[in-house]
Structure 1
């Protein structure tokens, strides 16, 4: 009835969406619609949409469906959806006709835009989540922010990936705080910080006498997070034997504590995070494939700071004000040299490292502005290119060529074997020669040397080559 790529069309829609046949039975849904309704497509395929999109639109919705089928004109309306958790979700429906290869109307595309999303987006736009230390005006961070409101309004499991220091913990907490579970606990546990036996006890609890040292009953994190959110950070480090038990709890919402004979039922939403590539972990048999797909219902990847240069200046100002206030300092900003250095640094530790650098600088600075002398010395040292961001392969193909040795441009001279005594002279002369070649253009010289412009500036300053 429909073209083969209809599934990709559905997944490309940034809102919950479904396709109905000519008598309004469900043919397919995207993952966002599954998350909002709480139903898997395979379970409801062929069922009348009225049984899934339970709402106060009621019979008027069916009349709208019939009208669209008869006239071929798309319509919009507002109403509520009652999902499988009996949670009412206000939505704006967009209903459009679909035609087959003979141009005969044969079904409907129904898109449900969650009205809460617009309210939260407006709040996010005004505050940029700055109160939580999450600031982002770059396109990649705006994509992250656009996902957060919708992910917040569902109970589906979510997976957050990104390099160390990108803010995975903060994003998880924001999702919880904007969710219907916000008034209930947000419990965090690091799956890589404890050995397997202790981690199992922390997650599921134990009874008195279950093992040596268990002198009393102890509730686990799952129980403590009941009706709230359990955040499993560094999920990629969870031992395999515990992954089996976690999968069982995700499926059944119940478990036995260690040494216990009475089953415990819980209502918990799971958000997991990792700096590792879980797909690679699955290939290496270090992470269960079924658990990966169970966690990866909704997905957010946080880009490294080097991929969001536009945000660095805003982050510098944010953390300067934060630490100034905490220490009671009055600092007017950064000198031009310090700002240029900070904007050119690669931040392999991402936002966490940037925050630490500014905290150090504010503690060291006794002047009106932060200068080069107030910055930690290590940022002036050469920084190796960062590896492919952990988790990137969940949404992008890894460019394996980046791991191959890169040849220098043929314009560069072949240098002799470098020694501690001669390298500085050789490097200084190399900079002079390259600048001459490009008529003193630092941009072209830096490109030729395979350096950033900031690195070239630092080297020129070091060797007294600045005008």
Structure 2
């Protein structure tokens, strides 16, 4: 006799594109999908067998489970609008859908709950200030919610903004969102990496040059300030800008005028400046590595992006997002990670933050030949390096986070050993790859860059980063 169809409830819920959960006949939680975990802030394992109303705290008229009982006994689905309060005390506008679940024999066995987040829809219609998912800005943690709350305030002004945070935290994404939500959105958003070019080239890149200004200057070239006129100029890695250029940048910010390299006539511009850095600028000011007057000129408004290790609950959500995006691009069907692989990813420190997390997912998705990614498909260094620190080590981690640019020390303290080894693992592999390619092509940078799939400028930046320049 053929057994009746019995779908796996976890797999079924994960296929629903909204936060969802299943309650039993006593209205206790049986299972939640990951979107519901992200919305409420509660992992499914910790709220299993708890009354649904205690997790979905709302003003939808479900006091003491009234709506649950109504749907359970009548069989008629209910859909009501209201707000819920998640574990981070964040209020979320939702459309609350409750439906009856029945067994094969027709007996009522539980409820299906779906919470559609409509806050983004409502605010898009009114203020267009909360739709950040298209920019890959994803986060339900308290610290990221504070960043999201700041964006509309930062966007509706022309004051300079300084974005701080470790490498790979998404500073460029925040800068782009601020521009897109600002009155300057229909004008250019120009990005310049201040640490990617030598001083002479960076000056020409920023301010342009006139014909004959230097050898090879065969025509007039507008700089990024000119190209960004009436728009936004994003200066990333501002902490790496040479001191002589800092003087000229301060002058432009004050006067709204600049003179191209080799030119005599000044040009007026209307540009909004957003700067970003992973370096501690106040320490650089004390060490005379960054001008104090320029620091105050840039730091009119400031926002800090937390490292991934401090964003509790966001790692799983980001893993799912990047896996969906990368597998779609590869044309593969990978439904997730095995429990062991997922735990390893949740325990990892992510010194490279979101950039490293995405690289890990992309690496794993490319070599995975099954429906789920296992430990064997994760980068080997994940199983060799230390896991995320426990509560007792939290002070040590946070102390390291305040100094994103570690300086070389002859005899490092024992407490930094694990963090340094994790931080260097990916870089060591990349550095050795560059060295091997240079040896293969007898030091020819053009052929080396082509072999690595890079442009010459990217190879130069990497060689500078790993101290491989002559």
Q: Shorter chain as normaliser: what TM range?
A: 0.5 to 0.7
Q: Please report the RMSD computed on the Cα atoms of aligned residues, expressed in angstroms.
A: 2.4
1:255 maps to 2:258: yes
* Alpha-carbon displacement from aligned partner over 1:43-62 (angstroms, at most 9, x marks no partner): xxxxxxxxxxxxxxxxxxxx
Per-residue deviation, 1:211? 1.2
Residue aligning to 1:301:
304
Report which stretch shifted further, 379-388 or 180-189. Answer: 379-388
Q: Unaligned stretches of 5+ in structure 2?
A: 1-121, 388-395, 406-411, 417-470
Are the counterparts in 2 of residues 134 and 170 from structure 1 also a CA contact under 8 Å? yes
Are the counterparts in 1 of residues 280 and 404 from structure 2 also a CA contact under 8 Å? yes
Residue aligning to 1:370:
373
Per-residue deviation, 1:134? 1.2
Residue aligning to 2:343:
340
Are the counterparts in 2 of residues 161 and 302 from structure 1 also a CA contact under 8 Å? yes
Are the counterparts in 2 of residues 277 and 392 from structure 1 also a CA contact under 8 Å? yes
Find 1:160's aligned residue among 155, 159, 163: 163
Residue aligning to 2:223:
220
In 2, Cα distance between the equivalents of 1:314 and 1:234? 28
CA 1:406–1:363: 2 relative to 1, 3 Å: closer
1:265 maps to 2:281: no
* Alpha-carbon displacement from aligned partner over 1:137-168 (angstroms, at most 9, x marks no partner): 00000010000111011000000010000000
Larger Rg: 1 or 2? Answer: 1
TM-score (norm. length: structure 2): 0.57
CA 1:212–1:313: 2 relative to 1, 3 Å: same
Residue aligning to 1:234:
237
In 2, Cα distance between the equivalents of 1:319 and 1:290? 41
Find 1:180's aligned residue among 171, 175, 183: 183
Are the counterparts in 2 of residues 161 and 390 from structure 1 also a CA contact under 8 Å? no
Give the SS at the match of 1:309. Answer: coil
Residue aligning to 1:199:
202
Give the SS at the match of 1:322. Answer: helix
TM-score (norm. length: structure 1): 0.57
In 1, Cα distance between the equivalents of 2:138 and 2:128? 13
Are the counterparts in 2 of residues 230 and 270 from structure 1 also a CA contact under 8 Å? yes
Give the SS at the match of 2:276. Answer: strand
1:361 maps to 2:373: no
Residue correspondence of structure 1 range 413-424 to structure 2 within 5 A = none
Per-residue deviation, 1:404? 6.4
Per-residue deviation, 1:261? 1.4
Are the counterparts in 2 of residues 357 and 375 from structure 1 also a CA contact under 8 Å? yes
Q: Unaligned stretches of 5+ in structure 1?
A: 1-117, 394-402, 408-467
Are the counterparts in 2 of residues 207 and 259 from structure 1 also a CA contact under 8 Å? yes
In 1, Cα distance between the equivalents of 2:148 and 2:403? 18
1:349 maps to 2:361: no
In 2, Cα distance between the equivalents of 1:329 and 1:122? 37
Give the SS at the match of 1:230. Answer: strand
